[in-house]
Structure 1
């Protein structure tokens, strides 16, 4: 996961990550057996890739390709894929499969995952991996047995139902996958290569659907907003942005207010990426005004209707904190960020935006205190230490700056870079006796961890 997070195609976008983890955590919480016998802590994330795919790693790491996120026509369809992957983790299919292989089988498996991330789904390099002898071996390792797939379908179906989603979404999405396989011909979608569909499996799901009453599920507004962000981030080339803008323009003509708000939000994000801040603000205000659910509106499952307020607030802060904004706008951003953090205290993205707003407004002591408190609460979050290093740099605290950078690199898996930062911190002229003691202790810890990693790599 550290290697994946460092990859360019890991979608390190706070609103997308927060949505997927809130969405996935809701599925896990709805089904008592979802954590399995290992009581797995799940982490859901997105990968930029044009192939329709999703995959799970041992330990509860579940990835959704950006193309699959865009292909899902409803949250129920997205839930069908994520619930299926949760089913694999809950039943330990991946770990059991790897346990039957020789220990060195982990090496080509890890290499394949990283190569797939780096090379994009349809590239010659990726095809070459699967065409080679080693690729065939890896493919056999990744293809779950028919029994495992059927079991994941069963668990996934139960998770969807428990979460209040329309279970027919599983058949709808799998049916679209089969249709896509006929279009792709020999270049079958990656999801079908690693999750082979059979008519028997689809028939089994249809039979299960007939046994339960129909339950309508209204999609949250966040679903449409997140898909708009994913579409912009899917292809950030000039042509990609032109195609995204054309898609949003067409989406504006839809009768659904959720679709319209999603398109307006997407156009705001495109304008922000292009540096047109006034246009970005204009589209954001239109998106906010388009979708205003009736007070007290509820889903059929009893869940309160969503208004996307947290994502709108985050986008407003992105625009106000962007380079080129005047000081008056950045001061307004600080007030809005403080209010947003109080309203959405669990949003990690908004918490960091609040810290960034304090930094750009020169509230460095306040920012340092806030970030130190946050780092104590969220010890595994490297971005907090990056912001802390930025704060210390602005204060001229060189030793503390490099200590914070060392923590950020260590949490990201860059042990050598972290040790280098500790060396720089030790040489800083403002390093106190206490700082030197912290540097020495942290250096011993990181060197010991690096030795352990080297030992594991040799096995």
Structure 2
């Protein structure tokens, strides 16, 4: 996961990360056995990749490609994929696969011994035995992979049903997947595929749907706004922004207010990426107005109560904190950020935007107090330590700046760089006796970790 975070394809976007983790956590909470026997803590994230895919890593880390977010037409389809990946973690498929691979590792050795014995009958017999042993090993791995996918489908079906989603969304997504991979699947024999045939998976889920009552699910606006963000952030090149603009302009012709608001929101993000800040603010205001209910309006039963207020607030702050805004706006931005933080105290992105607003306005003491409180509550966020280091640097507190940077590097997996930062902090002229004691204790701990990592790398 440390390698993933350093990958340029890792989509480190707060609104998307918050949506995926709220969405995924709700699915996990709805299904009592979702955490499995290991009691896994789940973390959901996105990768910049147009391929229609998602994957799970050991420990409950689940990724969704931006191509998947754009392909899913509703939240039930997205829930079907996320639930499937949760199923892989719940059933410990990765750990079981590693266990089987260790057992299968003996097959080539056994084949080698048998080939040596068969060589008496001729070289062709020896080659045949060797190839047969390798083929058996590969086939066992493929069989395990297909069985794991079927099991994840069944567990995922139960999870998304428990979460209140329309289970037919799994069929809809499989059909879209079948269309996207038609050429590949048509050319590959079923016994050489790592996944079951998509048609087989569709038939299995359709049989299960017939035994469950129909459940309609109305999507929240956040889903559409997240898809708009994913479309823009998947490719922020000049051509990528042009292509996204064309999609959003066509989307404006849709009769759905959610689709229109999402298109305006997406166009606002495109304008922000181009540095057109006034235009971005105007388009965001239009998106908010589009979703504002008319006087006396009554929503039908099942209408989503979500108004995506936190995403609109975050986007507004994103525009006001962008480079190029006049310094005179800083006090108003702080006020808006403080109100947003009070309204959405659980939003980690808005909390960091509030800290950035304080730093930009020169309220460094207040920013330092707020950030120190935040790092006590959320110890695993490297961005908080980066902001704290930025605050200390502006205050001229060099020792504390490098100590904070060291913690940021540790959380990002760059332990040797963290040790270097502690060395710089020790040499800082303003290092107090307490700072030096903290540096010494932390440095010893990190040096032990560096030794362990080197030992693990050698063993690999």
TM-score range, shorter chain: 0.7 to 0.9
Report which stretch shifted further, 326-335 or 336-345.
326-335
1:186-335 mapped onto 2 (5 Å cutoff): 195-292=195-292, 297=299, 300=302, 305-335=305-335
Are the equivalent residues in 1 in contact too, given 2:145–2:195 (CA < 8 A)?
no
Query: Structure 1 residues 239, 167: CA separation in 2 closer, same or farther (over 3 Å shift)?
Result: same
Unaligned runs of 5+ in 2: 106-133
1:109-120 mapped onto 2 (5 Å cutoff): none
Separation in 1, partners of 2:75, 2:401: 43
Separation in 2, partners of 1:103, 1:271: 56
Query: Structure 1 residues 341, 85: CA separation in 2 closer, same or farther (over 3 Å shift)?
Result: same
Task: Report the alpha carbon displacement of residue 142 of structure 1 after superposing the two structures with TM.
Answer: 8.1
Secondary structure class of the residue paired with 1:145 = helix
Q: Is the aligned partner of 1:455 residue 2:455?
A: yes
Separation in 2, partners of 1:320, 1:352: 14
Secondary structure class of the residue paired with 1:101 = helix
1:61-80 mapped onto 2 (5 Å cutoff): 61-80=61-80
Secondary structure class of the residue paired with 1:100 = helix
Q: What is the root-mean-square deviation of aligned Cα atoms in Å?
A: 2.4
Unaligned runs of 5+ in 1: 106-133
Counterpart for residue 358 of structure 2? 358
Task: Report the alpha carbon displacement of residue 154 of structure 1 after superposing the two structures with TM.
Answer: 1.1
Task: Report the alpha carbon displacement of residue 296 of structure 1 after superposing the two structures with TM.
Answer: 8.2
Counterpart for residue 112 of structure 1? none
Task: Report the alpha carbon displacement of residue 324 of structure 1 after superposing the two structures with TM.
Answer: 1.4
Task: Report the alpha carbon displacement of residue 236 of structure 1 after superposing the two structures with TM.
Answer: 1.2
Secondary structure class of the residue paired with 1:318 = helix
Separation in 1, partners of 2:405, 2:66: 30
Separation in 2, partners of 1:155, 1:39: 16
Counterpart for residue 420 of structure 1? 420
Separation in 2, partners of 1:426, 1:103: 51
TM-score by length of 1: 0.88
Query: Structure 1 residues 47, 141: CA separation in 2 closer, same or farther (over 3 Å shift)?
Result: farther
Separation in 1, partners of 2:200, 2:281: 51
Superposed CA offset, 1:92-124 (max 9, x none):
11111012224999xxxxxxxxxxxxxxxxxxx
Task: Report the alpha carbon displacement of residue 197 of structure 1 after superposing the two structures with TM.
Answer: 3.1
Task: Report the alpha carbon displacement of residue 158 of structure 1 after superposing the two structures with TM.
Answer: 0.7
Counterpart for residue 108 of structure 1? none
Counterpart for residue 178 of structure 1? 178
Superposed CA offset, 1:256-312 (max 9, x none):
110001000000001011110000001000000111358885863xx9610010000
Query: Structure 1 residues 322, 401: CA separation in 2 closer, same or farther (over 3 Å shift)?
Result: same
Counterpart for residue 13 of structure 1? 13
Q: Is the aligned partner of 1:378 residue 2:378?
A: yes
Task: Report the alpha carbon displacement of residue 45 of structure 1 after superposing the two structures with TM.
Answer: 0.4
Separation in 2, partners of 1:51, 1:139: 26
Separation in 2, partners of 1:354, 1:62: 28
1:365-404 mapped onto 2 (5 Å cutoff): 365-404=365-404
Separation in 1, partners of 2:63, 2:457: 25
Query: Structure 1 residues 321, 285: CA separation in 2 closer, same or farther (over 3 Å shift)?
Result: same
Task: Report the alpha carbon displacement of residue 395 of structure 1 after superposing the two structures with TM.
Answer: 0.3
Task: Report the alpha carbon displacement of residue 434 of structure 1 after superposing the two structures with TM.
Answer: 1.0
Are the equivalent residues in 2 in contact too, given 1:218–1:299 (CA < 8 A)?
no
Query: Structure 1 residues 138, 74: CA separation in 2 closer, same or farther (over 3 Å shift)?
Result: farther
TM-score by length of 2: 0.88
Counterpart for residue 146 of structure 2? 146
